[in-house]
Amino acid sequence: MMKRILVFAAHPDDDIIGCGGSLAKHVKLGNQVSVCYMTSGEAASLDYSKGELARIREGEARNAAQVIGFQDLTYLRNSDGYLKYDQSNLKKLVELVREKQPHIVYVHHQSDGHQDHRIAFQLVNESLGRASASLFQEYKGAPWSTEAVLAYEVWTPLSDFEYVEDISEFIDKKTAALRKHESQIKSIPYDEAFEGLARYRGAITGKGKYCEVFKVIKHLTCSRRGFRPARATFSYASASATALVSVCLRGFPVSERLNFGLPLFFFGRRGSE
Ligand SMILES: [Zn+2]
């Protein structure tokens, strides 16, 4: 079954850095990828005026998306460096989620060192909860509940994670897409940094030569077989629907809860139990 994927990125290039390999995999599988940029990254260079850089970076995002193979981009054009958790952004995100009806959402992780990245997580996390319920009459669209939410790493690598994606087949695409962000690469070699990180993730997890790793913020499928530790994998990539994640709730003390009661889960792969 075709899956709809929605990525939230604070800035153009965060989507490629955090999950570009996974997005290339989704495209290959026939899944539909949409990306929403919260800002246009106009504060990320002193070489251009803000207006000029915003236009350049939106164009770079389009070029990078073309390399990966998706076209559906939304620019919310918040002020770069000043992303706000406010009523206006919550409404935009709730309505975007209801419009796009994603099965899987990717977003920054909540402990990233960049303030805009952390605010993006908070906005998206809250919006997904609000989008799923008929609680606020000011939001347009029918309630939509997203199946899975994965948090990716950009500025601050994750200290722990539950899901690993083997992107070996797509690392060249990811790096080529990253190089489309020319205004950024010329000051910091992000292409080398994140190819190196993917290799590190692959070597440490043993899941593939190059990997991307994620915090699992939400998954709904529950296993009957008890607790499984972190590092197990699930695969939306599998042709078999039964290969999707199984989450273990029984006996697991849910110590952390996000808004609207979305617990942080650990999970195992059903097929390996
Ligand atoms: Zn960013």
The type of residue at 244 is L
What spacing in Å lies between the alpha carbon of 237 and ligand 1's midpoint?
A: 27
* Length of the chain (residues): 273
Across the chain, mean pLDDT equals 84
Q: Under a CB-based contact definition with an 8 Å cutoff, are residues 237 and 29 in contact? A: yes
Q: How many CB atoms lie within 10 A of CB 142?
A: 9
Coil, strand or helix: which one is 250? Answer: coil
What spacing in Å lies between the alpha carbon of 39 and ligand 1's midpoint?
A: 9
Choose between 221 and 135: higher pLDDT: 135
Model confidence at 270: pLDDT above 90:
no
Query: Structure tokens of 85?
Result: 């958790």
Whole-angstrom CA distances from 33 to 46, 75, 141 are: 32, 15, 20
Choose between 224 and 190: higher pLDDT: 190
Whole-angstrom CA distances from 246 to 110, 125, 224, 270 are: 23, 21, 9, 6
Q: What domains sit in the chain, N to C, each tagged with a CATH number?
A: 4-272 (3.40.50.10320)
What spacing in Å lies between the alpha carbon of 42 and ligand 1's midpoint?
A: 11
What spacing in Å lies between the alpha carbon of 11 and ligand 1's midpoint?
A: 4
Whole-angstrom CA distances from 93 to 51, 89, 111, 231, 238 are: 24, 6, 21, 30, 29
Coil, strand or helix: which one is 242? Answer: helix
What spacing in Å lies between the alpha carbon of 77 and ligand 1's midpoint?
A: 13
Summarised one tens digit per residue, pLDDT across range 91-136 is: 999 999 999 999 999 999 999 999 999 999 999 999 999 999 888 8
Model confidence at 153: pLDDT above 70:
yes
Band of residue 247 on the pLDDT scale cut at 50, 70, 90: very low
Choose between 197 and 46: higher pLDDT: 197
What spacing in Å lies between the alpha carbon of 168 and ligand 1's midpoint?
A: 24
Summarised one tens digit per residue, pLDDT across range 187-198 is: 999 999 999 999
Poorest-pLDDT segment among 55-64, 174-183, 223-232: 223-232
Model confidence at 254: pLDDT above 80:
no
What spacing in Å lies between the alpha carbon of 225 and ligand 1's midpoint?
A: 39
What spacing in Å lies between the alpha carbon of 272 and ligand 1's midpoint?
A: 36
pLDDT at residue 71, rounded to an integer: 97
Summarised one tens digit per residue, pLDDT across range 16-39 is: 999 999 999 999 999 999 999 999
Q: How far is CA 49 from the centre of its chain?
A: 29
